[in-house]
Structure 1
C-alpha cells in the first residue's frame, strides 16, 4: 500500500469507505486558499448503514464515539476523492462536531474524541486541531453525529 495514511488505517484495523454522495444542494469539499473545507459528514457503520440515534437517550457514549470515528473516516474519504491523495494533507485545522443529544447529555467533547483521536493517530502532531463539540436536538437523517472539517493542503 503506497499511501501511508491508508497503511496506518489498515494497522488500526480500519478501512477508508467510499466517499458518500451529497444528499442535498452542496458539494462535499471546496478547496480555496490552501484549505479544503469538508462539508458535514455523517456516520455509516462498516456495513454501510447509517448510525442513528440520540446520545444519552437511546445511544450510549461508546456508540456515539464510534460514530464520530466513522464520520472522521468519511471526511478522509471525501478528501481522497477531492484531492486524489491523502498525502496532500498538511494539517487538520478544525473539526466541527455536532452530537444529536438528549437535553441532559453533556459528554459532547468525549464523543468528539472519537474523531479527534483518529486524526492524531493518523497524522501525528499535524492531526491536532481546533474543535467545537456541540449538542443539538436533531441531525439530518436521524444520525447521532455529524462532523465538518477544515484541512490545510498542498
Structure 2
C-alpha cells in the first residue's frame, strides 16, 4: 500500500468532506512556520452532528469513539483545504480531545482513541502524537466530542 495519506484514506473507505467554515470569530487553521494548528472540529457527517448529548448520559462509549473518529476526519478536511495535499504533513504532533460527559464518566481515553487510532492509520508512525483528553460539561451544538490538532508540515 502507498504511504500517501490520501491512498490510506481511500483504502479505509474515507472521503474527506468539504472543510466546515468557522462559525464564530476564529480561523479553521493557523500556520506559523512549519506548525499548523487546526481549530476544534465537531463530529459532523453530511453537515449534521453524528449524535448529540453527553457520554455517560445517553451517549455510549462506542458512539463517542465514532464521534472522535468523525472529528478527526473533519480535522483532516481542514488540513487538506489549507495545504492542498496531506502528504505535506510531516508529523501529527498533538491531538486535543474534549469529551462532553457526566461527572461519573471516566472512559475519556478510550473515546479519544477513535481520533488517535485514525491518525495512525492515515499517517503511520508519523501519526503517533502527544495528546490531552478532557471531560467538559458541554460543547457547541450539544456535540459529545470535539477534537483539535497540531501538525508539523513541510
The TM-score normalised by the length of structure 2 is 0.95
For structure 2, list consecutive stretches of 5 or more residues without a partner in the other structure: none
**What do residues 10-40 of structure 1 show as CA deviations (whole Å, max 9, x unaligned)?**
2112221110010100000011021000001
**Richer in strand (by share):** 2
In structure 1, what is the equivalent of residue 95 of structure 2?
95
Distance (Å, rounded) in 2 between the aligned partners of 1:3 and 1:77: 18
Write out the 4+ residue segments of structure 1 that deviate beyond 6 Å after TM superposition. Answer: none
Distance (Å, rounded) in 2 between the aligned partners of 1:88 and 1:34: 10
For structure 1, list consecutive stretches of 5 or more residues without a partner in the other structure: none
In structure 1, what is the equivalent of residue 14 of structure 2?
14
Please report the RMSD computed on the Cα atoms of aligned residues, expressed in angstroms. 1.4
The number of residues matched between the two structures is 152
The TM-score normalised by the length of structure 1 is 0.95
- How do residues 56-71 of structure 1 correspond to structure 2 at under 5 angstroms? 56-71=56-71
